[in-house]
Structure 1
Amino acid sequence: MSNTHHFDVVGSFLRPANLKNAKAELEAGKITELQYKAIKQNAIRELVEKQKKAGLHYITDGEYNRKFWHLDFFWGFDGIAHQKDGGGVQFAGEVADLEATYLVGKIRVRPHPFVEDFKFVKSLESDGHEAKQTIPAPAQLFQQLIVPQNIETTRKFYATNDELIEDIAYAYRGVIRQLYDAGCRTIQFDDCTWGAIVGDAAAQRYKSLGLSLDVVKNQLLHVNNLAIEGKPADLQINTHICRGNYHSTYFTSGPYDSVADYVFARENVNTLYLEYDDERSGGFEPLSKVSADKVVVLGLITSKSPKLEDKVTVIARIKEATKYIPLERLKLSPQCGFASCDVGNKLTEEEQWAKIALIKEIADEVWG
């Protein structure tokens, strides 16, 4: 994120009603894939115009091209299958309706469907606006494949986590190269693994797999850095760290203290987008571990609720963060996207844009 732009969004936007309706019609067989694509591309054009009007530097497709922020990307690799099995992941007070995603072979890269989607957004770039691509972090795929319900299947193809990490990193390098060749110069990893491992349940979850948390943290760091290794010098890779965002609920709570020595200090990314919208995130002290070459985007505005934050309070919190990171290396954003999955968070499109307007207003006041 260039230093002249001090505010951003994480990437996903609420799906407009006409797009949701079109998707339902497609699933019911009332319209063709081609008709749906035309409606979707039109919705993305309109969204990009709104992003430009809101003063955002980065433009995205709002993740309109996928159902889930992470799973659809994984399905673009060979060796990965999925099915709707009625299961899901327990969030605070709600079960996230996700699709089972698992291995059916070795992970291999092929022409990734996200690349064509990116080319469309790239074609909508104009002066002062750059298309960025959001994808789940390599660590997210690694975690997906070693969770208790998947580990048995994963072991049929990978005897060790080290072999799995090698193939994930290699496949990601392939997609990173495809995106780069399509003109992409900013990629954002979305990563819930660090947010999940700070939670109370993480020790139990990994203990059942015979792994200590320190071993897992090293593996998460290793798979992300291995995927980034050898990237083109002019390609920015940023990361967004999250504790879960589904229909305005969260997955886990806990401060960054226990992961700061790994991801803040040693992950080879340019920018950290950090969730800091409520007390679940802890204090700013772990920011002292952020390496001097990184920019930090403070997610002080929540995307989970329509209530507008108090400007004075947000500005005071930015000032507090400057004890650890100089102001010129800080930026402002929501803590997460507005619709990590199709279902979206519990606010209206108008309320979503009001949040973004507030972020810009604060950024203008703080950074000028």
Structure 2
Amino acid sequence: AAEASTRRLLDLPENASRSLVVVLTRGGRRSARALARVSGVDVVVMGGADVDEPIPPAEVGDALVLHASRQGQGLTLARVYLPAAANEGASPSERPSIVDVSPWSVETRRATLTADVRELEANLARWEAEGADAAQVSRQRARLVAMQAELDGLAPPPVPSDRRALAATFVELPPDAPREAEVTAAMEALARRVNDHNRIALADWAPEPPAEGEPRFVGSAACASCHAQAFEWWRNHPHGRAYSTLEVRHKQYNLTCVGCHVTGYLQPGGSTVTQLGEDGALRNVGCENCHGPGSAHVASDGTVASARTDVPERICVGCHNPEHSDHFMYDVYRRTLIVPGHGLPPAGGTP
């Protein structure tokens, strides 16, 4: 349907002399590639693709497909070159295709080729040591020579004087980047709608109960009577205020966000997006996210040990990953959590 609509628009008389035809889509990669193959389309900008890394321009048919960035974490900037000679006397479908002159594309190809060359070199050494078929090894060695030649010849192409061209780059946005008021308002309205919907639709979503004899999550306040210093320190730590950072953004019921701002999320005896323990005891990133569910430890006045005292890195990197915490270093961060009453002897000799 999107392709047919695009063709009808291109057939309108007022579009016959357009210098550049850009199509915006949120339909995913397959839809973007289909639109790029419509005769007369020059650039397709794809939004909404959930990918970890920015995507450089991709040539599809006679068009280029651009990715508009992920979750507003950056901007794909495109500089378009439209020499007059490239547009004279030609309809959109008759003009030569637009050329990608992005250094970004070249460097991405360089990284891919470098990795492929190293892998093939290692394979060739292994195959020869194992006495693999000589003809097959010879074909792969010829392939290696071709790959190396392409790698050696990689360079950003010059901007042509007689064809339209595009150079794209990706700019990561810092958290304090200026915000467009209209876009900010639209995003906040979306966050409110998602929040309101999930709060009602998922109200009855209860956590899975723990297996018989296994502990459940009880919340950090249950630790305070025996670990007063650690509890007071935690209350003023970002972990102890994590849930409020969602509330002010109307995202406390957002399934993408909440798991890293509460305790025991989707774990047996833990929490869900709408059920956070008795009186909200499992709000925030609490003690039990690191040390394990504590009901047995609390009920025994500490004679039953908590599940973990030395917290492995895997516990942290579920949330402190490159997407959310790109400067996270486990050993450095862990040292900041070792304080009196929490890994060190209590100050003044009291808990």
Both structures adopt the same fold (TM-score exceeding 0.5): no
Name the TM-score, length of structure 2 as normaliser.
0.22
Rg comparison, structure with higher value? 2
